[in-house]
């Protein structure tokens, strides 16, 4: 495949081989030549309003497609992606960052070129800390193998990688025609270690009276759903999910309980998980948001924690075993348990959209959205009460959010990545007014590419989550007429919603409308979901 190909063409071919069909980004002079090649290739360029929007869109695309690509120019573009790449690393999203750069010949005698910070190496030094693998494609004879090395690492570890492409390297055809791969040495599992871990885990599960599986985002990232369900069915073991792992397990499964997140989760789920004598964590982060570690009460002596690179059973650590142990457990003969009552009622109050006098509250809003969603949707709550209020909903559809790294502004650009990765799905974004003001201009990108997300802006006049934690004027933002944004971008329909009836009418219209919709929901300035109030109380104690 590589015979006679330029470095730029080889990079395009390799990402296409891995299933990428869309590349997100903004052009600039150091990368415009590569953009021109992509424009003539099978890849479709998605030009966003801002580089951060491109990064978030590529992240969401990766979560749905298995890999995403964002491409920008040097420094002024690349450094804007530091935050979105950090999120992809933290939440294990396989994104390739491609940055144009000054040509190698231009760098002679260290000239002062536009977009340069201090040294030409400054940008890659930043991304070395934010990615699993990185390279500057400055040597034609190693460029192909470096591209393969970085892509292999991204796909293996489900984390972002970085390639810097000097503009005078794009058209170079290496004298060595074939790509030289750096083979990844196989992970050698010590049979004795695996046998010991297997025996300890089997004994712990079979002797437990109330085991439970806690499914994290790793279940989705590493394709472990079948193994998790097999383990659950063999042992009749109920399943809870972390917030970041929400929807990794179908929420209509008879063994699914709901989200566990300390005080962030359903009280019944929390009591069940924390009362378990064997918690089997699969691909879960031990973080303050993902499992509510600030407020959780999990006994390490009752935990089997399986991640991509290690297994911890009680207080014993087995490095290198990774998900191999899960496959063993799923295929083992386990005794059937009696999980007891695992159907936990939602905290959401019934929604009566027929009462025109009823003002909308956070609780009634989430009840309404729960009834609105269907299997062809993808729910994308942004950070804040949009996320916390969504956590307890039982969903018929996929759910993605920045539920660990918690970067505000993910939701609207994520909708673009989701719908391009899965054209049969319709994104439903729930976003606070504060987060919307960060990246909401990407609705222009959605309109340009004929996408039709439903974007629901919760307008409580500022950073509502922070108000719950610490009241101050710094929590306020300048008011916008969010429902009129479709007029500004000349696309879609907007709704200003104050009552239950207006919300019901807007949702019914959106469900049957083929264009994008912006629904602005007016909430009380100090209104919040019960979940957020519990979290705010816990955080205030630590201030």
Domain ranges, ordered by start, for the chain: 7-166, 191-330, 362-540
Determine the pLDDT at residue 543.
Answer: 74
Determine the pLDDT at residue 49.
Answer: 97
pLDDT above 90 coverage of the chain, percent: 69
Domain covering 7-166, topology = Rossmann fold (3.40.50)
Determine the pLDDT at residue 209.
Answer: 92
- Give, in degrees to the nearest 5, the angle at Cα 61 between 45 and 406: 125
Residues 6+ apart with CB under 8 A from 228: 213, 215, 219, 239, 249, 282, 326, 330
The larger pLDDT score, comparing residue 3 to residue 9, is at 9
Determine the pLDDT at residue 203.
Answer: 93
Digit-coded pLDDT (tens) for 152-175: 999 999 999 999 999 999 999 998
Q: pLDDT at residue 3 above 50?
A: yes
Query: Highest-confidence range of 1-5, 471-475, 495-499, by mean pLDDT?
Result: 495-499
Digit-coded pLDDT (tens) for 475-516: 899 999 999 999 999 999 999 999 989 999 999 999 999 999
Q: pLDDT at residue 191 above 80?
A: yes
Same fold, 191-330 and 362-540: yes
How far is the C-alpha of 393 from the C-alpha of 246, rounded, in Å?
Answer: 10
Q: pLDDT at residue 192 above 50?
A: yes
How many residues are present in the chain? 543
Q: pLDDT at residue 398 above 80?
A: yes
Digit-coded pLDDT (tens) for 38-88: 999 999 999 999 999 999 999 999 999 999 999 999 999 999 999 999 999
DSSP per-residue string spanning 90-156: HTT--EEEEEEE--TGGGTT----TT--SSTTHHHHHHHTTSSEEEE---HHHHHHHHHHHHHHHHH
Q: pLDDT at residue 117 above 80?
A: yes
If one looks up domain 362-540 in CATH, what number appears?
A: 3.40.50.970
pTM attached to this predicted model: 0.93
How far is the C-alpha of 503 from the C-alpha of 313, rounded, in Å?
Answer: 49
What's the distance, Cα to Cα, between the start and end of the chain in Å? 58
How far is the C-alpha of 244 from the C-alpha of 63, rounded, in Å?
Answer: 12
Nearest to 58 by CA among 415, 431, 451: 415
Residues 6+ apart with CB under 8 A from 473: none
Give me the phi and psi of 236, to 5 degrees please. 45, 55
Pick the range with the lowest mean pLDDT from 81-85, 195-199, 207-211, 533-537: 533-537
Contact 241, 250 (CB under 8 A): no
Query: Highest-confidence range of 154-168, 380-394, 463-477, by mean pLDDT?
Result: 154-168
The larger pLDDT score, comparing residue 177 to residue 210, is at 210
How far is the C-alpha of 456 from the C-alpha of 67, rounded, in Å?
Answer: 27
Give kind and range of the element (H or E) at residue 452. Answer: none
Buried (b) or exposed (e) across 401-415, using 16+ Cβ within 10 A? bbbbbbbbbbbbbbb
- Please, what CATH class does the domain formed by 191-330 belong to? alpha beta
What sign has the CA pseudo-torsion 9, 14, 15, 19? positive
Determine the pLDDT at residue 185.
Answer: 61
């Amino acid at each position: 495949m590589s015979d006679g190909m330029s470095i730029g063409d080889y990079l395009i071919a390799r990402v296409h081989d891995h299933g990428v069909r869309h590349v997100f980004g903004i052009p600039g002079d150091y990368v415009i030549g590569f953009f021109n090649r992509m424009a003539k290739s099978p890849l479709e360029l998605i030009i966003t309003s801002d580089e951060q929007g491109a990064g978030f869109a590529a992240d969401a695309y990766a979560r749905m497609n298995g890999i995403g690509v964002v491409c920008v120019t040097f420094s002024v573009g690349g450094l804007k992606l530091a935050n979105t790449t950090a999120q992809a690393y933290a939440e294990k999203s396989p994104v390739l960052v491609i940055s144009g750069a000054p040509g190698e010949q231009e760098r002679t005698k260290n000239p002062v070129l536009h977009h340069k910070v201090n040294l030409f190496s400054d940008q890659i030094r930043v991304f070395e800390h934010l990615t699993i693998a990185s390279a500057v494609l400055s040597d034609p004879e190693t460029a192909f193998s470096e591209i393969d090395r970085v892509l292999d690492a991204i796909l293996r570890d489900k984390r972002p990688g970085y390639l810097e492409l000097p503009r005078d390297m794009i058209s170079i055809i290496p004298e060595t025609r074939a790509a030289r791969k750096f083979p990844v040495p196989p992970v050698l599992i010590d049979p004795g270690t695996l046998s010991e871990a297997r025996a300890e885990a089997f004994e712990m599960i079979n002797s437990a009276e109330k085991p439970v599986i806690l499914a994290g985002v790793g279940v989705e990232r590493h394709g472990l759903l079948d193994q998790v369900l097999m383990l659950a069915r063999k042992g009749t073991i109920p399943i809870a999910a972390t917030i970041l792992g929400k929807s990794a397990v179908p929420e209509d499964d008879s063994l699914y309980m709901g989200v566990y997140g300390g005080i962030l989760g359903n009280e019944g789920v929390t009591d069940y998980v924390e009362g378990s004598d064997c918690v089997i964590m699969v691909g879960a982060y031990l973080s303050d948001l993902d499992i509510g570690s600030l407020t959780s009460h999990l006994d390490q002596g009752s935990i089997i924690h399986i991640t991509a690179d290690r297994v911890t059973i009680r207080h014993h650590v087995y490095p290198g075993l990774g998900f191999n142990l899960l496959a063993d457990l799923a295929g083992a003969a386990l005794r059937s348990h009696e999980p007891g009552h695992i159907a936990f009622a939602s905290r959401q109050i019934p929604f009566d959209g027929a009462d025109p006098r009823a003002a909308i509250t956070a609780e009634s809003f989430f009840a309404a959205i729960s009834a609105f969603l269907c299997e062809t949707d993808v729910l994308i709550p942004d950070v804040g009460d949009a996320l916390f209020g969504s956590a307890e909903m039982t969903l018929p559809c996929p759910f993605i959010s920045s539920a660990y790294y918690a970067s505000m502004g993910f939701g609207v650009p994520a909708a673009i990545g989701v719908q391009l990765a899965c054209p049969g799905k319709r994104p439903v974004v729930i976003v606070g007014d504060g987060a919307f003001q960060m990246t909401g201009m990407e609705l222009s990108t959605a309109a340009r590419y004929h996408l039709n997300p439903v974007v629901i802006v919760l307008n409580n006049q500022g950073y509502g989550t922070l108000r719950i934690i610490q009241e101050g004027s710094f929590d306020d933002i300048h008011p916008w007429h969010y429902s009129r944004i479709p007029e500004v971008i000349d696309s879609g329909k907007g709704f200003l919603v104050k009552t239950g009836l207006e919300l019901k009418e807007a949702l019914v219209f959106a469900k049957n409308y083929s264009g994008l919709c912006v629904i602005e929901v007016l909430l009380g300035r100090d209104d919040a979901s019960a979940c957020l109030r519990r979290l705010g109380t816990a955080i205030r104690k630590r201030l």
